Chain A
Amino acid sequence: MLRYAIKRLLLMIPVLIGVSFLIFSIMDLAPGDIVDIQTAEEGLTYEEIDQLREAYGLDGSVFTRYFKYMVRFVQGDLGTSHISGRPVLESYLEKMPATMALASASILVSIIISLPLGIISAIKRGTFVDNASMVVTFLGLSIPNFWLGLMLIIIVALNVSWIPTGGFNHGIASLILPAITVGTALTATLARTTRSSMLDVLSQDYLRTERAKGHKEFKVITKYALRNALIPIITIAGGQFAVCLGGSVLTETVFSWPGVGRLIVDALNGRDVPMVVGSIILKSATIGIVVLIVDLLYAVIDPRIKTQYDARKRKQT
């Protein structure tokens, strides 16, 4: 297992190289750079502009710039923001707690809603309950985030005194509305996955064995069936969590949430190349690690997958 994890971590290196180069090229292809934005109205001479470009490290071909960037990157230096002048890593990590909190709370909301709904739909498949719960979850998917956020602010935050309209400084209370906003959008996929995965498991012979032992139907479903249905569910939930860790711009904007989503978008708009590239690399690394954790969780849930991981190890040695 450990060996498998290390191998997967090493495999992230080529991925990060690819991602960083892609972002670097796209930033290069995008019209305008930070110098254009800053000097648009100042009427500098071409010489002065070229000097500025050199100072920002924007001269030379995209390849030489990428190479220089990567040399500093492997030394642990992700560069400094052109706009704020602060180290990229520092700015990013500063935004992480808020993003982490929102992502965890959102996924929690999503799981709390979609797991019971998915299970009930599977048990009552084809009935009114099944259709109704699927409609409800799709409603969550179809409602735009920013609209739901604004509605929650108007309806809830303005009427309930202890729920703030935004910001990150009121502890759990400040998490409630943003988490509901992001979480409800995730329920449709997760509830669907739960439903179909449970449907697969519910027809299995081993549940009949559990019933024949005399287990309560509730326990048969929540313990013996659910554990077998969990793999697709945590795959989707893990993926959603990873995406949330990359920040959600709209929700962050609506709730003035100090997350990484807005950090990246602001940097993009300002053509702040080091900030954008650094943030995207960090974002991909986070997603990669979450996906790895999910894969390792498979082995905890299903002993057959653990055997596979270990078998791979044996083959290599």
Chain B
Amino acid sequence: MEERKSLHDPVLEVEDLGVQFILENETINAVNDISFKLRKGHTLGFVGETGAGKTTTALALLRLVPHPGKVESKKIEVCGHEVTAMTSSQLEKYRGNDVAMIFQDPMTSLNPVFTVGQQIADSIMLHQNVTSAEAKARAEQMLELVGISANRAGEYPHQFSGGMKQRVVIAIALACNPEVLIADEPTTALDVTIQAQVLNLMKKLRDDRRMSMIMITHSLGIVADICDEVAVMYAGRIVETGTLVEVFNHTKHPYTEGLFNSLPNILNRSAKLKPIPGLMPDPSNLPVGCSFAPRCKYAGPDCTCAQPKAHWFSDTHMVACAAYQREGFAIDRPEKK
């Protein structure tokens, strides 16, 4: 048991992370007391609707939550370093080198007045002791690696298509061989054919470099394709987490069930889509009880009075749902083998 643990030492461990945006007349609770671990070489997927707090969580890991965001946590430990305790010079060494992030919108994530080669070389120069000529050569290698010809290094972002820009963003993130790569909806802004290309590229690079990865997405398909573990987020909380098989085949949380039900059924194309009724609660005015209760078909009086407690089905499979305190409760979604 002890041996197994050392093999699966987490590279990233977060405990009770909360992010609030304190505005003049309201406080937005974007992320509320979430905890998770990422093991070396594993990929953790964050799934949830827009506004569930996925991106804010990722930004908190890099301490890049924009003003007026306030981050609170018991622990954000990456590669053995406590992120919240870092000085700004430590933070500069940590960002891009230990943890790199691929941002959501490639159209706006690249600086329009510098060549893509410069933007990649920049990152290399910052973290590695190389001359500018070496950095330039490395930048060109990185471009080749993501499938862009090296002789385009001297071109500017506006001369690239969206898919190519996203690959440049990936090249920037990977330039310094980070321990942990955070990919924030890397394919959302791309069309479907390019999506597959970019995902395959990321999978390949992850496997080649034995990187740990956090994949933020709202596509269950991408999660199934690329992740080892899944955390389902709702209104700033993790409502269900577990291995891919546990969450996909032994779904426990009513919200996760709703997500699966709202997928189109490929076997019965004429079947109506079954969306989850209602909307996510206003993050500046979250209910006392379970945030999902107002939209949940299983909700009872026990759901609305207090935050649901974590219910563990295995060492890895956690569900935050009060209904499991009831005798013999089960959701409608059948378990798969």
Determine if A205 is an interface residue (Cβ-Cβ < 8 Å): yes
Decide yes or no: A304 and B158 within 8 Å by CB, A208-B64, A214-B127, A217-B88 being known contacts: yes
- For the complex formed, measure the closest distance between the CB of A105 and the CB atoms of chain B, giving whole angstroms: 29
Determine if B134 is an interface residue (Cβ-Cβ < 8 Å): no
The digit string for B93-137, where 1 denotes a CB below 8 A from any CB of A, is 111110011010100111111110000001100110000000000
Determine if B172 is an interface residue (Cβ-Cβ < 8 Å): yes
**Distance of A301 Cα from B156 Cα, bound (Å):** 12
Residues on A with beta carbons closer than 8 Å to the beta carbon of B62: 212
**Distance of A271 Cα from B93 Cα, bound (Å):** 70
Decide yes or no: A215 and B103 within 8 Å by CB, A302-B112, A304-B112 being known contacts: no
Minimum CB distance partner of B63 in chain A = A211
Contacting pair B111 A212 (CB below 8 A): no
Determine if B169 is an interface residue (Cβ-Cβ < 8 Å): yes
**Distance of A212 Cα from B123 Cα, bound (Å):** 9
Task: Give chain A interface residues in 85-104, CB to chain B under 8 Å.
Answer: none
Residues on A with beta carbons closer than 8 Å to the beta carbon of B115: 303
Contacting pair A215 B64 (CB below 8 A): no
Decide yes or no: A307 and B111 within 8 Å by CB, A205-B105, A214-B127 being known contacts: no
Residues on B with beta carbons closer than 8 Å to the beta carbon of A302: 112-113
**Distance of A206 Cα from B103 Cα, bound (Å):** 9
Residues on B with beta carbons closer than 8 Å to the beta carbon of A146: none
B: interface residue count bin: 20 to 34
Could you tell me how many residues of chain A have their Cβ less than 8 Å away from some Cβ of chain B? 22
Determine if A224 is an interface residue (Cβ-Cβ < 8 Å): yes
Cβ 8 A contact of A303, one of B88, B92, B94, B156:
B156
Minimum CB distance partner of B110 in chain A = A206
Decide yes or no: A211 and B95 within 8 Å by CB, A206-B109, A227-B113, A228-B112 being known contacts: yes
Residues on A with beta carbons closer than 8 Å to the beta carbon of B64: 208, 211-212
The digit string for A300-312, where 1 denotes a CB below 8 A from any CB of B, is 0111100100000
Decide yes or no: A214 and B93 within 8 Å by CB, A204-B108, A209-B109, A224-B111 being known contacts: yes
**Distance of A209 Cα from B100 Cα, bound (Å):** 10
Minimum CB distance partner of A204 in chain B = B108
Cβ 8 A contact of A212, one of B66, B95, B112, B156:
B95
Among A205, A211, A212, A228, max chain B CB count under 10 A is at A212
**Distance of A225 Cα from B101 Cα, bound (Å):** 20
Determine if A216 is an interface residue (Cβ-Cβ < 8 Å): yes
Determine if A213 is an interface residue (Cβ-Cβ < 8 Å): yes
The digit string for B164-200, where 1 denotes a CB below 8 A from any CB of A, is 0000010010000000000000000000000000000
Determine if A210 is an interface residue (Cβ-Cβ < 8 Å): yes
Decide yes or no: A216 and B172 within 8 Å by CB, A302-B112, A303-B113 being known contacts: no
Contacting pair B96 A213 (CB below 8 A): yes
**Distance of A213 Cα from B168 Cα, bound (Å):** 13
Contacting pair B126 A213 (CB below 8 A): yes
Residues on B with beta carbons closer than 8 Å to the beta carbon of A215: 92, 122, 126
Cβ 8 A contact of A205, one of B93, B96, B109, B158:
B109
Residues on B with beta carbons closer than 8 Å to the beta carbon of A303: 112-113, 115, 156, 158
**Distance of A228 Cα from B62 Cα, bound (Å):** 24
Residues of B whose CB lies within 8 Å of any CB of A are 62, 64, 66, 88, 91-97, 100-101, 103, 105, 108-115, 122-123, 126-127, 156, 158-159, 169, 172
Name 14 A/B residue pairs within 8 A (Cβ), A-sorted: A208-B66, A208-B103, A209-B103, A212-B62, A212-B100, A212-B103, A213-B100, A213-B123, A214-B96, A216-B92, A228-B113, A303-B113, A303-B158, A304-B156
Residues of A whose CB lies within 8 Å of any CB of B are 204-217, 224, 227-228, 301-304, 307
**A-B interface, 6 closest residue pairs, ranked by CB to CB distance from nearest:** A214-B96, A214-B95, A205-B108, A213-B96, A303-B156, A206-B111
Apart from A208-B109, A304-B112, A307-B158, list 17 A-B contacts with CB within 8 A: A206-B109, A206-B110, A209-B110, A209-B169, A210-B111, A213-B122, A214-B93, A214-B95, A214-B123, A215-B92, A215-B122, A215-B126, A216-B92, A224-B114, A302-B112, A304-B156, A307-B159
